[in-house]
Structures are given as C-alpha cells and as structure tokens.
Amino acid sequence: MKLYTYDRAPNPRRLGMFLKYKGIEIETAQVDLRKAEQLTDEYRAINPEMTVPALKLDDGTVLSEVIGICTYLEQIYPDRPLLGTTALERALVVSWDHRLFAAMIMPIADMLRNSAEAFRNRALAGPYDVPQLAEMVERGRLQLHYILPDLDAKLARGAWLAGDNFTFADIDLLAAVDFMAWVKESVPEECAHLKAWYARAQAELA
C-alpha cells in the first residue's frame, strides 16, 4: 500500500489521527497542495479525483474517501477499534461521521474556498473549475453556529460522541474544531462541555 496525502490539510489530518491512534505505518508520499501538486497529470493518473488523501492498494485499487480508507484499514488492523465493535456502535460512529462532515467540515471548507484568493475559481476540490460564491461563506458560518450548541448539549450527556468509547467520530470532531481556526472561528466560551471534550480527545491522541 502507498498513501498519498498532505499532512496539514483537514481530510488528511482525519486519516492521520486514525493511523496514529491505531499505530499503523504506511509508506507515504506528500502531495503539496500549496504547489497544486494534486492538479498535475502525474497525480491525476493516481487519483482522478485529484484530492488527498488517497490510498493505493497493492492490487492497484485507489481509495480516495477518508471513511472508505478507514473502513478498509479497520478490517486489516482491528486492534484499538475506532469504528465500533457492535452493529449499533458502528451505526452511531458512521452517523456522526456523516453529520460532522456535512454540518462542519464541508461548511468550513465552503467558507475557506469561497473567500480566499488562493481558491479563486477553485471553490470545490477536485478536477473542475468552480467559481466562488460569497453567499457560501455566510451560510457556512450559520451552519457552524447551529451545530456547536447541539454538540455541546450532546457532550453534556456523555464523554464521547458515539457511545462510551473514543471513536473515529471524536477524531472527526477534533479535526473539524481545529479546521475552524482556518476561517477565524472558534468554540464559544459557553460551550463548556465541548471544550472539556476537546481536552479529553487531545489526550487520547497524545
């Protein structure tokens, strides 16, 4: 296997924390997004989606979605499970992963890609040129302000998002909270349970 990634970007960070927690080591190549290396013909031949991360398997199959990569690796490396150990736990983790991606990670990405000069005409990741829309910035901000109190209320009732254990749902939330800084947003002071959770989650990955 070979992993193509860019460590500091949000989606690669999600996978990177998964790998660190489980102690998985994979041959890795950095694809420098600052130099638009993901848009080169060389990388497009590896991953036509022109996104990172991408995991190329020994049979040539390329997995280019974080949740797909993690699902594959969880089967191969079951120790320290992050996707649940029962049908219900797995359903809760995947449900939270989907909600966080739709309600936090994508809105933050929309805020960034529709406002920064570096993403002019590149408002969506991937092979297509897409113009920026200023309205997406405000919509993204509204989505964040809606979900953060909901998360705080959820974490008031338990230590972790998807049950009694630290899971990939918590990793996704950690990545999303850190990604907020890229658009100059942060967890409100009144979200005390979310702030306490953040410290616990960081400790799990220390």
3-state secondary structure of 4: strand
Contact 133, 142 (CB under 8 A): no
Percent of the chain with pLDDT over 70: 100
pLDDT attached to residue 204: 97
pLDDT attached to residue 119: 82
Distance, in Å, from the CA atom of 67 to the CA atom of 73, rounded to the nearest integer, reads 10
Please give the structure tokens belonging to residue 162.
């998807």
pLDDT over threshold 90, residue 32: yes
pLDDT over threshold 90, residue 126: no
Phi-psi region of 50 (alpha: psi -120 to 50; beta: other; left: phi over 0): left
* Pairing of β 2-5 and β 54-56: antiparallel
Helices marked H in the chain: 10-22, 41-46, 66-76, 87-100, 106-113, 134-155, 168-180, 192-204
Longest dimension (CA), the chain: 50
* Pairing of β 2-5 and β 27-30: parallel
Query: Where do we find the tokens 């049979």?
Result: 59
pLDDT attached to residue 124: 83
3-state secondary structure of 50: coil
Domains of the chain and any CATH numbers: 2-76 (3.40.30.10), 87-204 (1.20.1050.10)
pLDDT attached to residue 83: 98
Q: What is the pTM of this model?
A: 0.94
User: Which sign, positive or negative, has the C-alpha torsion 14, 16, 18, 20?
Assistant: negative
Please give the single-letter amino acid code of residue 171: I
pLDDT over threshold 90, residue 122: no
Of the candidates 114, 117, 122, 121, which has an alpha carbon nearest to the alpha carbon of residue 139? 114
Please give the single-letter amino acid code of residue 84: G
Neighbouring C-beta atoms of residue 32, cutoff 10 Å: 10
Distance, in Å, from the CA atom of 76 to the CA atom of 94, rounded to the nearest integer, reads 18
